[in-house]
């Protein structure tokens, strides 16, 4: 039986939202081009701030007012646009402007894919948007692995 395990790469972009979005876009391109859906996963880690928690409820109320005034056909269209990204587009730039932005990448290759794992482990931190983000590789036996794994599971 093959033993699957994961490796995490943590990137800290500071307050540079643009670099984090470039990195996210590059990972999306690789995942699609090389069919790495379950093997390379990532989650954006934004530092929580007071402005972010205030702006989320206000932005969530805006579509509901628009739905009531435009009728049932507009309600269907409005719900489709917000469900794709998971949160309204207005809150994303505000959240990053007030705190640090990090990217947590999980590499999950099976034991017979060791060569692919090594190549992606070397490639991702060496590419341009990731170079300046202070990459930290966390292996399964490391002390930080459990806390990083829990953090990855709790991020949305």
Cα gap 33→108, rounded to integer Å:
17
- Averaged pLDDT, 92-111: 78
pLDDT range class, residue 1, cuts 50, 70, 90: very low
pLDDT in tens, 40-50: 999 999 876 53
Higher-confidence residue: 17 or 59? 17
**Which residue segment(s) compose the domain that 76 sits in?**
51-91
**Do 112 and 43 have their domain in common?**
yes
In eight-state DSSP terms, residue 135 is -
CA dihedral of residues 112, 117, 118, 124 (deg, nearest 10): 170
> What pLDDT does residue 66 have?
42
**Residues listed for the chain:** 156
Give rounded-to-5 percent helix, strand, coil for the chain. 55, 15, 25
Q: What is the largest CA-CA distance in the chain?
A: 58
Report how many domains make up the chain.
Answer: 2
> What pLDDT does residue 54 have?
39
**Do 120 and 134 have their domain in common?**
yes
**Do 106 and 31 have their domain in common?**
yes
From 37, 65, 91, give the residue that closes a domain: 91
Please state, in angstroms and as integers, the Cα–Cα distance from residue 66 to each residue in 5, 63, 72, 77, 126, following that order.
Answer: 46, 5, 10, 11, 45
Looking up residue 111, the CATH number of its domain turns out to be: 3.30.70.120
Checking if the pLDDT of 71 tops 80, the result is no
**Do 134 and 149 have their domain in common?**
yes
**Do 33 and 109 have their domain in common?**
yes
Nearest to 131 by CA among 54, 4, 19, 29: 19
**Do 68 and 137 have their domain in common?**
no
pLDDT in tens, 111-138: 999 999 999 999 999 999 999 999 999 9
Coil, helix or strand for 133?
A: coil
């Amino acid at each position: 039986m093959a033993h699957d395990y994961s490796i995490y790469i943590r990137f800290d972009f500071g307050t540079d939202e643009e670099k984090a979005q470039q990195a996210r876009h590059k990972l999306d391109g690789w995942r699609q081009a090389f069919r790495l859906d379950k093997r390379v996963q990532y989650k954006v880690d934004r530092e929580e701030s007071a402005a972010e928690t205030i702006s989320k409820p206000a932005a969530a109320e805006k579509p509901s007012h628009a739905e009531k005034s435009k009728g049932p056909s507009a309600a269907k269209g409005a719900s489709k646009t917000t469900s794709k990204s998971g949160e309204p587009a207005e809150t994303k730039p505000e959240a990053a402007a007030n705190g640090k932005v990090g990217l947590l990448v999980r590499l999950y290759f099976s034991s017979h894919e060791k060569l692919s794992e090594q190549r992606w482990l070397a490639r991702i931190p060496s590419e341009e948007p990731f170079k300046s983000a202070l990459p930290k590789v966390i292996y399964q036996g490391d002390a930080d692995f459990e806390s990083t794994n829990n953090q990855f599971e709790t991020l949305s």
